[in-house]
Every structure is written in structure tokens, then in C-alpha cells.
Amino acid sequence: MNYDAIVIGAGMSGLAAGIRLAMFDKKVLILEKHSIPGGLNSYYQRKNFDKGGIRQFDVGLHVLTNFIKKGEKGKPFSKLLKQLRLSYDDFKLCPQTHSKILFPDVELKFSNEFELLLNEVSEKFPQEIDNFLKLTEKVKTFNELDLSIGYSSSREALKEIIKDELLIEMILCPLLIYGSAWEDDMDFAQFVIMFKSLYFEGFSRPEGGVRTILSLLMKKINDLGADIRFKTAVTKILIKDSGEAFGVVANGEEFYAPVILSSIGYPETVRLTPKIDLNPRIGAMTFLESIFVFDKKIPLDQNDSTIIFYNDSKKYSYRPATDYFDSSSAVVCFPDNYETNKQDGEGTVRITYMANYSQWRDLERAQYDEMKEKVGQSSLSLIRSLSQGFDGKLLFKDIFSPMTIERYTWHLNGTVYGSIDKTRDGKTPFKNLFIIGTDQGFLGIVGAMLSGISMANLHGLMGANEI
Amino acid sequence: MADVRQIVIDIIADIAPDEDVSNLDDVKSLREQLDLDSMDFLDIVMELRKRHKVEVPQEDYPKLATLASCVSYLSPKFATV
Ligand SMILES: Cc1cc2nc3c(=O)[nH]c(=O)nc-3n(C[C@H](O)[C@H](O)[C@H](O)COP(=O)(O)OP(=O)(O)OC[C@H]3O[C@@H](n4cnc5c(N)ncnc54)[C@H](O)[C@@H]3O)c2cc1C
């Protein structure tokens, strides 16, 4: 079968790319291995332990970053709306209350108003406020969308501006765990993207979670008449002797197109091509997540944070756990704590720990379940210590590991933020084969969609316009 | 004769539904008056092609800077379709 473009993977980036191409009458084929869309941000259901019935969960979606108010212009989220021709109201965004970075003896709150973080820094690090302002200036004037810039260390850049090491650790903590493929550091362009999307813009959550976003995207795909096939794994990318990609093999069938956009990761994509001397490294950062549902909401100390970025020492370690999991830091997410969700009812908490892929891989089934139990216990005691004697009854729990991530998204080693070898212009050594999403360097829900959009524009629409 | 000015305005109204396109100054740059970025200009070009089969090569994108320049650049193209 012949198409104008083939998209591999129906995660956020693949769906967005498919929409852009189909919008301008390209005949598009989207191939997805799983039975549903979403990829790293999909959904699943579980049976209740006792009373029967099922519960629906999102895989990820603590937050949608890059919050804007209705009508705000020139921001990543407003660009995304325009490019996909979606309306702000369709996302039903509930803004966060506020979030906090919690280290021993000191915490920094931030919200969708940047002033809060500024005030917090000037109160808790008065000697650093001028430097912090200098940093925000640098972030504001930096062009993170320049696709030609190479890697530079954020820690080095921060050290040049900020003297207090604790403040550096605290600023980095949420940015690293929400989007760094690199251990203990991140590319400065990525730092700028994350700083803007978390601290300048902030968090919200669509009512209905990730399904709300996915059904908007799927409706567009179907309305535009793009061909999307689930349970259809691409097993080979077809390359001519001249090095030009011209099609794929999936479910034993061949499909041809002059443009192929792959969202499955750079190392994962290279493995589907004939052997070449190119080995993008597999990122090491993978996580464990525990989800608990209680019969009532968890009362927190001051005013119900949406997310707590917790760390138990002055130094933040962002690297694979040396053991199965690392409980010295965590992301604690309260998906109920949003401005528009003040009613009583069940309370949900999600706890994310850094993990170690090879340790989990080597576990036998019985030990695997036992280890998950340990993760659950550790997470529960963290909830209890943060909520000072919360006595809610646990109704449900579910824990997913790096193995779960690998099994359902096929990211090698359960890596979440992809390879540390990004290809920022999307190009690969093969003509007509491009990388979109995480390994093009833009991640998270908003980032991945923008990557799909901009790569489809650059390599699918503008390229085609030259003919 | 196609009303090229109106055609461009209609396209902008569709790709940037939040913008007020009722009072545009023909000689001022569109970017100055509206929240349009390079991605939006790509959409103007793609819509011209989709709706009117008019092709604008990439090197000519700057010729779409103002409504007046759109009219003078695009009118001959519309005359031939
Ligand atoms: C636990 C967790 C929590 C997260 N929380 C948040 C959050 O709160 N906010 C946020 O913004 N981001 C969050 N993220 C990150 C976000 O989910 C990702 O950055 C983003 O979804 C990546 O999208 P993508 O399109 O690049 O890749 P993917 O989602 O990985 O898409 C790739 C797709 O390709 C498919 N595929 C793989 N191999 C093949 C094959 N051979 N053939 C066909 N299809 C194939 C996969 O099934 C998948 O659907 C979280 C991630 C995780 C794991």
C-alpha cells in the first residue's frame, strides 16, 4: 500500500504529527503496536479488590505543563491549539493550587503565578534573589527552539549565576525528574524549556485526565480520515541501498511512503533498520509509580499542594537507583488537589520513585511481586509522614515498574525520557526517516505534541512543498 | 477576479480563530497586528494550496508579510488558476 507519510507510534507526538499531515490532504498511515493510543501517557483499568467493578487510571499525567489562561497568546500551549485547530475549552483544564519543592528544613512553593516562586526565593534565600532574577533573565532571552545547538551542562550554567548550592539543587529537582534523560544534569536548552513550562507557565490537569486529550486527538484523526491501525507493530524499516527510507513492514505487510516519522525512540528506531555504525545510547532513567485510592481526601499541611517534589537531604540525586528503588526522593502527586475540585470524596495519591531497570528485570515472578509490595509500603509511609497521621482507609492500590513501562510502550529498558543522544532536527543517517517526540528532544505531553507538529511541518509539509 | 485580500483574511480567521481580523491595516505587517508565528505562515501557505491550488515556494514566504504585499504577490497566481 502506498501513502504520503507513515507515522510509527500513536503516542502524543505520533498523533499530533498525523493530524498535521492529514489536515493538508496527505494520505497518512499511523501504526501502533498497542491496542490503544497514548504510549507513555496512556490509560488502563483494574478490577477493584473487594466490591467489584473497575477503576480507570492514567499511566502518567500528574500534570499538564505549560498552563495558559484562555486567550493567552504566543505560548507553547497556544501554538499547539492553533496548529491542531483545537479549542482551549475542549481541554477542560483545572489549574493547580500550588506545588512545592520540599527539602529538609526548607521548602519552595510555586504556582501558575511566577511571583509566588520569586517571593519564596527572596524569603528563603534572600542573598540569592538578584542572582535568581539574573537566571530568569537568561532563561527568558535564550532561544531553546534553535535546533542547531548542541549539549551544554545546566549545572555549570547554574553555578556561574547562583552561589548557594542548596538553591541550585532545589531549582533542578522538579526539572530533572519531569524531563531529563541525563543523569544528575540536563542539557541547558532542555532546562530552559522545562523552566518555562513548569515555573513560568505552571500546571493544570484536564478534567477526565489523559482520556480527554486522547479522545480530542483521536476524533481529529478520524474526522480527517487518517488511517490508524492498532495492534500493528512495525518490525522493519525498508531502506534502499542508497540509504533512503521508503517504507515499513508491519504484521508481515509492506507499506510505502516517501516520509517516515518514528516516535518509538532513536535507539528503538535504529534497531529496525539495516545494521549501520550508529548506536544512540539507551537512557538510564526509569521509574516506579504507586497509585493509592483512599476513602477520603488526604489533608495536607498548608493548603493542599498539587505536587510535592520531595527530597530527604540537601543534595538531590537524579540517577538510577543503586538498589531496586530509591526512596530518598519522590514525586508525590495529588490529582484531586486542583482549583476546581474542592468537593469531598475519594482521595488519590501517586508516588514516583527512581528505579533501576536491570535489578527489576532479573527478578523472578514471586520476588517481583514481593518487591512491588515493598515499594508500596515505602510509599505509604511517605504519605503518612507528609500528611501527619492521616487515617483514611485504603480502597485500592496499583504499582507499575520499569518492566511494566517496557512491556506496554516498548521503550528499551523502560526508559521514560529516551536516549541521551537526541537528534534535535529529527534527522537520522537515513534520508526520509525522521525521529519525532522524546528523542527529538521535546517531551512531556505538550512537548511531545509540539515535536510531532514541528517535525511534520518541517519534513512532511515544507519538504513536500518544494516538489 | 478573485478577492485575494478577503481570501487571505478568511484563511487567517480560520487558523487563528481568537484573532480579530475586522480592522487590519493593509500596509502594516501582519505579525505586528496579530499573534502569528512562522508556523502560522506555513498554515496560510498550506491553506492557499489546499483551497485554491496556489503554490508559494518557501523563499517567497516573506512576500506574505502584509495584506498589501499578499495581494500584489498572489493576484497574478490567482489569475492563472
Ligand atoms: C509514569 C509516567 C508519568 C508521566 N507523567 C507526565 C506528566 O505528568 N506530564 C507530562 O507532560 N508528561 C508525563 N510523562 C511523560 C510523557 O508521557 C511522555 O514524555 C510523552 O508521552 C512522550 O510521547 P512520545 O510520543 O514521544 O512517545 P511515546 O508515548 O512513547 O509514543 C511512542 C508510541 O510508539 C508505540 N510503539 C513502540 N514500538 C512500536 C513499534 N515497533 N511499532 C508501532 N508502534 C510502536 C508505543 O506503543 C507508543 O504508543 C510521564 C511518563 C510516565 C511514564
pLDDT at A465 over 70: no
pLDDT at A60 over 60: yes
Closest CA to A39 of A30, A47, A48, A29: A30
CB of A116 closer than 6 angstroms to any ligand 1 atom: no
Query: Which fold, B4-80?
Result: 1.10.1200
CB contact under 8 A, A73 and B17: no
CA distance B1 to chain A (A): 26
Do residues A306 and A391 both lie within one domain?
yes
pLDDT at A447 over 90: yes
**What global pTM score does this model have?**
0.95
Distance A416 CA to ligand 1 centre (A): 7
B20 labelled catalytic: no
The confidence band for A50, taking pLDDT boundaries of 50, 70 and 90, is low
CA distance B23 to chain A (A): 19
Residue A37 lies in a domain: yes
pLDDT at A210 over 50: yes
Do residues A54 and A145 both lie within one domain?
no
* Nine-digit cell string for A153: 551542562
Do residues A288 and A392 both lie within one domain?
yes
Residue A151 lies in a domain: yes
The confidence band for A290, taking pLDDT boundaries of 50, 70 and 90, is very high
Lowest mean per-residue pLDDT among A24-33, A276-285, A408-417:
A276-285
Of A144, A172, A200, which closes a domain?
A: A200
Do residues A274 and A188 both lie within one domain?
no
Per-residue CA distances from A403 to A47, A342, B15 (Å): 21, 36, 42
Residues B44, B70: contact at Cβ < 8 Å? no
- Residue A302: the pLDDT is 47
Of A409, A429, A449, which closes a domain?
A: A409
pLDDT at A341 over 70: no
Do residues A288 and A241 both lie within one domain?
no
The confidence band for A413, taking pLDDT boundaries of 50, 70 and 90, is very high
In whole angstroms, what is the distance from residue A290 CA to residue A48 CA?
16
- Domain extent at residue A25: 5-63+208-281+421-460
Residue A365 lies in a domain: yes
* Nine-digit cell string for A260: 517516515
Residue A86 lies in a domain: no
The confidence band for A3, taking pLDDT boundaries of 50, 70 and 90, is very high
- Residue A24: the pLDDT is 96
> Looking at residue A284, what DSSP letter applies?
-
Do residues A349 and A453 both lie within one domain?
no
CB of A11 closer than 6 angstroms to any ligand 1 atom: yes
- Which of A12, A40, A379 maximizes ligand 1 atoms within 8 Å of its Cβ, making it the mutation to test the pocket? A40
Mean pLDDT of A358-364: 95
Count of domains for chain A: 3
The confidence band for A161, taking pLDDT boundaries of 50, 70 and 90, is very high
pLDDT at B7 over 70: yes
Give the residue on B whose Cα is nearest the Cα of A21: B46
Minimum-distance CB partner of A79 among B37, B45, B49: B37
Do residues A289 and A405 both lie within one domain?
yes
Choosing from B37, B40, B43, B60, the catalytic residue is B37
Do residues A240 and A188 both lie within one domain?
no
User: What residues of chain A have any CB closer than 8 angstroms to a CB in chain B?
Assistant: 23-25, 71, 73-74, 78-79, 82-83, 85, 87, 453-454, 457, 461-462, 465-466
Distance A210 CA to ligand 1 centre (A): 12
- Burial class from Cβ neighbours inside 10 Å (0-12, 13-18, 19+) for residue A358 reads exposed
CA distance A142 to chain B (A): 17
The confidence band for A467, taking pLDDT boundaries of 50, 70 and 90, is very low
The confidence band for A421, taking pLDDT boundaries of 50, 70 and 90, is very high
Complex ipTM more than 0.85, yes or no:
yes
Closest CA to A430 of A237, A233, A149, A234: A237
Do residues A179 and A237 both lie within one domain?
no
Residue A82 lies in a domain: no
CA torsion angle A426 A429 A431 A433 (round to 10): -50
In whole angstroms, what is the distance from residue A177 CA to residue A310 CA?
11
Which uninterrupted H or E stretch holds A370? helix A365-386
- Residue A466: the pLDDT is 42
In whole angstroms, what is the distance from residue A68 CA to residue A93 CA?
9
Under 8 Å CB pairs connecting chains A and B tally to 38
Residue A88 lies in a domain: no
Do residues A271 and A295 both lie within one domain?
no
- Burial class from Cβ neighbours inside 10 Å (0-12, 13-18, 19+) for residue A438 reads buried
- Residue B81: the pLDDT is 63
Of A146, A175, A200, which closes a domain?
A: A200
